[in-house]
Structure 1
Amino acid sequence: MTQNTPKEPKFRRRAEARPDEVLDAALSLFTEKGYARTTVDQVAKRAGFSKGTVYLYFASKEAILEGLVRRTVEPVAEAAFETMADFRGDPRPVLAQFLRAMAQALAVPKTRAVVMIVLQEAPVAPNIAALYRKSVLERALPAMISLLAQGVAGGHIRAIDPELTARSVIGPMIAHLLLSEVFAIRPEGGLQMDRLVENHLTLIFAGLEPPVGETP
């Protein structure tokens, strides 16, 4: 007689889901009310938990935001780091892969919402700025700078400033988000992040093209 595998207790499955439920509740409140005007009590109520239950998983409201960054944004930066690290050759295909992945991530409303919360709150909340810098920027930016520098050294792209060019690569994505989400200035048809990236790649690649006769 074949024995059925016992099902996992309901309470255990519920406990494992709680951090994500807290994060989902917090994200909806941060989006509706703003990070500064949201309290842990409100997050607990929206999630259907007691305040004490929330504190079992997140020590503070700032820890909840950190959890959102780690869940939604940090994986994109980590993937970029892994793709760019130790790469040797023409950096343009790797830049294209990164920007397209970034566009795909930002097309997801939850991911875009987390990025916008950070952009809006960071100027008045240094801890949030430090969190995003440590979790995302301090990994992705150096990797991109190194990628561009080796491209210059190998003659694959023209002699540009790698650090400033990395900012030029990422900057239009941030500006596009601010125009769309803060000022409600959007292209016809909506956010159009994928179209922005393809247009941006055309411009960036033309600017990186080595002078005639200098290709490796």
Structure 2
Amino acid sequence: MDRGNARELIDRTTDKDSPTVGPRGRARRQALLDAAAALFVEKGFEKTTLTDIIGRAGGSRATLYEHFGDKEGLFRAMMEENSARIQDGLAAIQADERAAPEEGLTRFALHLVAALFDDRTMAIVRVLVSEGGRIPDIAEAFFRIGPETAQRRLADYLARQTAAGALTVAEPEAAARGFIGMITGNILLRRLILPEQSFSREEVEHYVGRAVALFLTGARPTAGH
């Protein structure tokens, strides 16, 4: 999914072209999304009812049905909008031809880590971990528009850097998977198991810097290549 598709996805899920949805309608819609995100974390997806969501957000059941259809539709919209927002940021980094590999990879990694410290992102991940078997189509959509798209963006970046002679990456797709796993794996696990644990900006930047340096040790051209 390229940047244009990510923006199209946001547009499609915000009803902005609907003549019946004005600023108040968008505000109600956002209130429902915010309430659902908080409740999914507090009570879990299955135990959260539409009555719970409406009670916290205000509005009516008719408004929720109009915007989302049902609880699964609400969660799908939340997941799609969040993924599109993250992918928009990655697309800008992917398209920057001026940045050296160290800078580009660092920006890419910091953007992914920032997503893992976002409450909305983690609410989505926790729901998918606990309920993915019940909503497999949404879980599969998450991987398509989230992790798999991020991997494709990074693989494209690595391939272009290799073509320019800045890197030597024989298998960009495998390298992208490895880099993203190295950056996100430990932090994601900690966020899931120890959600109250905090990291300072300095700790995050040090962690990312070491990972980027390790990756580039094996990816930089060597003498004679």
Which TM-score applies when normalising by structure 1? 0.77
Using the alignment, how far apart are the partners of 1:106 and 1:183 within structure 2?
13
Further displaced range: 53-62 or 204-213: 204-213
Using the alignment, how far apart are the partners of 1:168 and 1:44 within structure 2?
42
Q: Deviations over 1:19-59 (max 9, x none)?
A: 11000110011101112322223212221232222111111
2:25 is paired with a residue whose SS is helix
Using the alignment, how far apart are the partners of 1:89 and 1:193 within structure 2?
21
Aligned to 1:5: none
Further displaced range: 32-41 or 161-170: 32-41
Matching residue's letter, 1:208: A
Cα 1:159/1:181, change in 2 over 3 Å: closer
1:176 is paired with a residue whose SS is helix
Aligned to 2:190: 180
How many Å apart are 1:86 and its aligned residue?
8.5
2:62 to 52, 66, 80: 52
Query: Identity of counterpart residues, as a percentage?
Result: 28
Match status 1:148 vs 2:155: no
Matching residue's letter, 2:115: A
How many Å apart are 1:132 and its aligned residue?
1.1
Task: Describe how 1:79-158 pairs up with structure 2 within 5 A.
Answer: 79-85=89-95, 87=97, 91-122=101-132, 124-158=134-168
2:217 to 173, 196, 206: 206
Using the alignment, how far apart are the partners of 2:133 and 2:119 within structure 1?
22
1:49 is paired with a residue whose SS is coil
Cα 1:105/1:189, change in 2 over 3 Å: closer
2:193 is paired with a residue whose SS is coil
Using the alignment, how far apart are the partners of 1:111 and 1:71 within structure 2?
10
1:158 is paired with a residue whose SS is coil
Aligned to 1:63: 73
How many Å apart are 1:106 and its aligned residue?
2.9
Larger radius of gyration: 1
**Structure 2 residue runs without a partner (length 5+):** 1-21
1:20 is paired with a residue whose SS is helix
Cα 1:21/1:178, change in 2 over 3 Å: same
How many Å apart are 1:122 and its aligned residue?
3.2
How many Å apart are 1:137 and its aligned residue?
3.5
How many Å apart are 1:71 and its aligned residue?
3.3
1:26 is paired with a residue whose SS is helix
Further displaced range: 154-163 or 78-87: 78-87
Cα 1:140/1:33, change in 2 over 3 Å: same
2:80, 2:145 within 8 Å by CA — same for their partners in 1?
Answer: yes
Q: How many residues align?
A: 203
Using the alignment, how far apart are the partners of 1:185 and 1:30 within structure 2?
15
* Segments of 4+ moved more than 6 angstroms: 185-188
Which TM-score applies when normalising by structure 2? 0.75
